[in-house]
Amino acid sequence: MNLIDNLKSNISASTILNVIVQIILYFIGVLINGKIIFACWRSRNHNKSWQLHILCSFSCIILFAFNIPFYFSMASPTLSSITGEWICYLAIFMNAFFSMIILMNSLMVAITKYIFVVHWDKALVYGHEKIQWTSVFLSVLITIPSAIGRTAMNRNYNTEDGPLHTCFGKELKESKEKSDWQDIPFGCFSENLDSNEPWSYIPVVFLQIFCVLAHVLYVIMCCNLPEAFFYYQIFKTTKR
């Protein structure tokens, strides 16, 4: 049975209605983000964080352009049996990468403002344009390892009630004998690794450490506490 037949046999009226609403909202979002991109481009000579705003808007457009057809295709119970598992891993990476770009955008804007306001003399020496593009580069550089870690540990996304559970077509079963490294926080255990093979714990441990660090980085970059610190320093400087 091909993908079209699978969709026909599993699709429902509520699914169609849901997709129609999402498409309408998506085009509204594209219109809004398009205006943001256009406004940032026009004011780029006076806006010190225009690159970050454009990056965030493009990320929103790309992410939902991928997710709407992908989640609609989840009406097919085992999408990976038709397309291969690459589409499932691509979905994990796309959601991890672009979601973090969007979530940490306000923090990167706060850091950029902090540099220009609090350390204006150093910023003038280094160059305003260099600082702006460095902020964009760091946003991408910080996000990539987190996205790779989440993709490698696909079990975090492959939950029983999640769309990627359907994509992989797997049934997640608890192992009768749980290894010690399966108890690491954040659910950082990958079913892709066979812990029964000799010395297999070595790559497992390294991937567990990588996964935990990626989660910690995600929490730090996406919570409001670092952002509040930078704005506090900005306000303190402007009151002098």
Q: What is the pLDDT of residue 147?
A: 84
CB-CB contact of 112 with 47 (8 Å): no
pLDDT > 90: percent of the chain: 29
Report residue 221's pLDDT band, with 50, 70 and 90 as the boundaries: confident
| 48 or 204, higher pLDDT | 48
| 105 or 152, higher pLDDT | 105
Q: Sign of the C-alpha dihedral, residues 201, 202, 203, 204?
A: positive
Q: What is the pLDDT of residue 8?
A: 60
Query: Stretch 47-59: mean pLDDT, rounded?
Result: 93
Q: What is the pLDDT of residue 188?
A: 59
H-helix or E-strand spanning residue 160: none
Report residue 136's pLDDT band, with 50, 70 and 90 as the boundaries: very high
| 152 or 48, higher pLDDT | 48
Q: What is the pLDDT of residue 90?
A: 87
The tally of domains found in the chain comes to: 1
DSSP class per residue in 72-120:
HGGGSTTTHHHH-THHHHHHHHHHHHHHHHHHTHHHHHHHHHHHHHHTH
Cα dihedral: 119, 125, 130, 131 (round 10)? 0
Q: What is the pLDDT of residues 78-131, one digit of tens each?
A: 666 677 778 888 888 898 899 989 988 999 999 999 999 999 888 888 898 999
Cα distances (angstroms) measured from residue 9 to each of 3, 4, 39, 77, 173 = 10, 9, 46, 10, 27
Here the tokens at position 5 are: 């037949």
Report residue 140's pLDDT band, with 50, 70 and 90 as the boundaries: very high
By three-state DSSP, how is residue 6 classified? helix
Residue 126, C-beta contacts closer than 8 angstroms, at least 6 positions apart: none
| 232 or 165, higher pLDDT | 232
CATH code, 214: 1.20.1070
- Give the C-alpha separation, 125 to 195, whole Å: 53
CB-CB contact of 59 with 102 (8 Å): yes
| 58 or 176, higher pLDDT | 58
Q: What is the pLDDT of residue 177?
A: 41
- Is 0.85 topped by the overall pTM? no
pLDDT > 70: percent of the chain: 69
Report residue 24's pLDDT band, with 50, 70 and 90 as the boundaries: very high
Q: Sign of the C-alpha dihedral, residues 229, 232, 238, 240?
A: negative
Q: What is the pLDDT of residues 155-209, one digit of tens each?
A: 444 444 455 556 766 544 443 344 444 444 445 555 544 555 565 667 667 777 7
- Give the C-alpha separation, 6 to 77, whole Å: 8
Domain that holds residue 61: 3-238
Residue 179, C-beta contacts closer than 8 angstroms, at least 6 positions apart: 195, 201
DSSP assignment, residue 53?
H
Q: Can you give the C-alpha Rg of the chain in angstroms? A: 22
CB-CB contact of 158 with 165 (8 Å): yes
